[in-house]
Chains A and B, each alone.
Chain A
Amino acid sequence: MTLQIQNLGRRVGKQWIVRHLNLQVDNSECVALVGPSGCGKSSTLRLIAGLDSVSEGEIILDQANVTHAPATQRAVGMVFQSYALLPHLSVKANLDLGLRVRGVRASERQQRIQAILDLVQLQDRSEVLPAQLSGGQRQRVALARALLRDPDVYLLDEPMSNLDAQLREELRPELRRLVLDRHKPVIYVTHDQHEAMAIADRIAVLHSGRIQQVATPADLYHRPETLFIAKFIGRPQINCFKPKDGAICAVRPESLFFANEGLPCKLISREWLGSSQLLYLDSPHGSLRLSCSTTMEIPETVHVSWHSSDEHHFDATTGRRLT
């Protein structure tokens, strides 16, 4: 089972929402779609789900072309940011509805719902309305509904962005367990790069409706293809020096270190981050961010240096990486 999208695009009026999308997601693989808001992440997901119509390109699911198949006939399991649980139906009825219209027999439905509730650990909440559940529980019901669908592909649209940070971290491994064990392609949309790096096998970065790079988290971090990705991935943000000879040199804050010789900088402020601290420095090349161990005492004026292997170079006009 693989999902393949080729040169996919959607146009509304004269404007392309997304265009030239190419992506392949294999069995058991989780690809995260990340990007700033409005970059077309959710639109891509909706195209794959069949909720919006495709203007060009193709979607191929397990060798079948489903580009123009209606949503009701695609085997797609989707979890929405708002969970999209029906507020007037109990948890059980919410799960039951889809099974019933797909013609599953009553006894089997009962059994499958029970099993899935056990799986998401909501056995005792089956008769409760969604409004009476906590955010995390609702999210698990939404997930359970997608699992019950037994789809060919899972689409998760910012499933955790309505939860608080702690809950998110708790749920992440559970999500991996539940979804990735199904051995189906998974697309996970998020605006949170940490989440993406934590959960995804590969990450696709979208910008203005185009995919800029698809790579493993490590590749993305260490070899960003564009200046945009370099800036977007990694926190604290990468340092960019002023363009010189049509090229921009960028260095990650953690690659900077203090040296006796090097760039003379003035300390402007410092942020204590627990395991490390972030320094804001003023240098002749512009302001710099530097993260270092907390134990270090910082004088007013420091000299900063880095290894040339840690430098990333980008074309100043196109933003493309220069080798």
Chain B
Amino acid sequence: MNRRFLVGLLLLWSLGPLLWQLYTSFCSDQALTQPFASIDQRWTLIHYRNVLTANPPFWRYLVNSLLVGLSSTLLCLVLALPAAYALNRIPCQLSIMSRLALVGAALFPYVLLFLGLLEFARGLNLGNHLLALSFPYAALSQPLAILLLNNAFNDLPPELEDAAKLEGLTLFQRFRWILIPLISPATASTAILVFLFSWNEYPIALTWISDSSKLTLPVAMARIAGSSIYSVPYGAYAAATVLGSIPLVLLVLIFQKPIVSGLTSGAVKG
């Protein structure tokens, strides 16, 4: 009984604000100003229509974020996998030091890097190139990715690779046939966490992208917030919030296992 109450409270706390947005998004402007009064025309889809037919349409931001997320994840894994493997093959003390440095980098509030990265983008003309964002994203998620994958490599029995060496497999062949398949669960966890990070990242995207058709979802949301010209724009905000949340809610529901195991393994071993 007591527990049921607590669980209810927990769910209300976690999901209440989201459900309120969902409710708001279907309310007419009139209904919004009097949320608990009874009004004839309470329900409407107009906010969704507005958001989806705006210029550029809302789904464009989702596509942009998806592209950036995928390319960043790919780049991050391509770099982190060999590095995580090599971290086990360097002298022990050096390896421990590098792992400590990586933990420090993972803790670092990366928002402070925005200025350096902005100068970088200016210097190399990377601004307003959507895929160029994968470069800082891959770098920023590198510490976590290397740590997680390194844990996974550590957990592999070394004989598997030794046996493959004796079979004559080169390093690349060992990666292809043994290491990559065997750490695929950890790789999946890492990939999802990196994807989440890239999808949600704000300050770097804010400074690197200004062209409205190339915005990623978080920046687009912030710009919607700043640029609204409606008197009560919250119906449209809420519709945008709901549309922006759906992909991630689905992602969490589908991939909850790898996400939890990724976060947990980072915590337990890091």
Contacts and interface: CB of A to CB of B under 8 A. Distances in A.
Contact of B169 (A80, A87, A98): A98
Interface in A30-52: 46, 49-51
A88 interface: yes
A230 to B, nearest CB: 34
Contacts of B168: 72-73, 98, 101-102
A88 B181 contact: yes
Which residue among A71, A76, A102 has the maximum number of chain B CB atoms within 10 Å of its CB? A71
B173 A101 contact: yes
A138 to B, nearest CB: 13
B187 to A, nearest CB: 13
B159 interface: yes
A145 B166 CA distance: 10
Interface in B149-186: 157, 159-160, 162-170, 173, 177-178, 181-182
Which residue among A81, A82, A98, A102 has the maximum number of chain B CB atoms within 10 Å of its CB? A98
Contacts of A51: 162, 165-166
Interface string B72-97: 00000000000000000000000000
Nearest to B160: A84
A72 B159 CA distance: 14
Contacts of B157: 82, 84
B163 A84 contact: yes
B166 A149 contact: yes
A196 interface: no
Which residue among A50, A74, A86 has the maximum number of chain B CB atoms within 10 Å of its CB? A86
Nearest to B162: A51
Which residue among B162, B167, B181, B182 has the maximum number of chain A CB atoms within 10 Å of its CB? B167
Contacts of A98: 164, 167-169
Contacts, number: 62
Nearest to B169: A101
Contacts of B164: 97-98
Given A97-B177, A101-B173, A72 B160 contact: no
A189 interface: no
Interface residue SS majority, chain B: helix
A106 to B, nearest CB: 17
A73 B49 CA distance: 66
A224 interface: no
Interface residues of A, number: 25
Nearest to A81: B159
B88 to A, nearest CB: 14
B160 A86 contact: yes
Contact of A97 (B159, B162, B167, B182): B167
Nearest to B173: A101
Contacts of A145: 163, 167
Interface in A1-58: 46, 49-51
B115 to A, nearest CB: 44
A80 B162 contact: yes
B178 to A, nearest CB: 6
Interface in A69-99: 70-74, 76-78, 80-82, 84, 86-88, 97-98
A185 B44 CA distance: 84
Nearest to A82: B159
A70 B166 CA distance: 9
A70 B168 CA distance: 9
Nearest to A157: B159
Contacts of B177: 86, 97
Interface string A139-152: 00000010001000
Interface of A: 46, 49-51, 70-74, 76-78, 80-82, 84, 86-88, 97-98, 101-102, 145, 149
**4 nearest A-B residue pairs (beta carbon):** A98-B167, A84-B163, A84-B159, A71-B165
Interface of B: 157, 159-160, 162-170, 173, 177-178, 181-182
Given A84-B162, A145-B167, 16 more contacts: A49-B166, A51-B162, A51-B166, A72-B166, A73-B168, A78-B162, A78-B163, A78-B166, A81-B159, A84-B163, A86-B160, A88-B181, A97-B164, A98-B169, A145-B163, A149-B167
18 contacts: A46-B162, A49-B166, A50-B166, A51-B166, A72-B166, A78-B162, A78-B166, A80-B159, A80-B162, A82-B157, A84-B160, A86-B160, A101-B169, A101-B170, A101-B173, A145-B163, A145-B167, A149-B166
